[in-house]
Copies of this chain bind each other. A is one copy, B any other.
Amino acid sequence: MTQHIDLVLERTLDAPVDLVWAAYTDPEHLKQWFAPKPYQITECELDLRPGGIFRIRMVGPDGFDTGHGGAGCVLEVEQGKKLTWTSALGPGYRPAEMGEGCESFPMTAIVTFEDAGNGRTAYRAVALHKDAKDKETHEKMGFHDGWGTVAGQLEEFAKSLKVSA
């Protein structure tokens, strides 16, 4: 299904799939790792059902702040296995306003989680775009570095859940 206008990040994470899933889908957990440091997620709403809201507020150095707007929409939830969400729609499937910067193009993310044995997780995140231009914009914004960095942060955070569990 992947096309040349998609971007793909694949990692084997050294944490069990149930903890990686929990780290991704609990809004309080997600805040801990979803932004590449020193950026931070200060607000997160994630209603884990088709049509549910997925909204984050990211703040960073030099006054960077995505603000309160820009809510996306959850499309598919397969417990422990798959989460699909899009910025093209908001909660309740309403078409979303496209903003500036990070939100200037619509994107759908398909994130899958699979047991990779020995307490590890095969993590795969695919970003679907409407055309090559949006893919390039996303690539130049630092898709590989950004999504790679936060995959590492996700791994570390999911591991810490293991210790505290």
**Residue contact A130 to B93, C-beta cutoff 8 Å:** no
Question: Could you tell me the distance in whole angstroms from the C-beta of A135 to the nearest C-beta in chain B?
Answer: 11
Residue in contact with A75 in the complex, picked from B90, B93, B105, CB distance below 8 Å: B93
In the complex, whether A131 has a CB less than 8 A from a CB of chain B is yes
In the complex, whether A23 has a CB less than 8 A from a CB of chain B is no
Chain A stretch 78-98: residues in CB contact (< 8 A) with chain B: 84, 86, 88-90, 92-97
In the complex, whether A129 has a CB less than 8 A from a CB of chain B is yes
Contact A93 to B108, CB < 8 A, known contacts A50-B76, A75-B50: yes
**Residue contact A95 to B106, C-beta cutoff 8 Å:** yes
Closest to A84 in B: B93
Residue in contact with A89 in the complex, picked from B88, B110, B131, B134, CB distance below 8 Å: B88
* Interface residue total, chain A, C-beta cutoff 8 A: 26
Question: Could you tell me the distance in whole angstroms from the C-beta of A113 to the nearest C-beta in chain B?
Answer: 18
Question: Could you tell me the distance in whole angstroms from the C-beta of A35 to the nearest C-beta in chain B?
Answer: 23
Residues of A within 8 A of B (CB): 1, 50-51, 75-76, 84, 86, 88-90, 92-97, 105-108, 110, 128-131, 134
Q: List 23 interface pairs A-B (beta carbons < 8 Å), by A numbering.
A: A50-B75, A50-B76, A51-B75, A75-B75, A86-B89, A86-B93, A86-B95, A88-B88, A88-B95, A89-B89, A89-B108, A92-B128, A93-B108, A93-B128, A94-B128, A94-B130, A95-B107, A95-B108, A95-B128, A95-B129, A95-B130, A95-B134, A97-B130
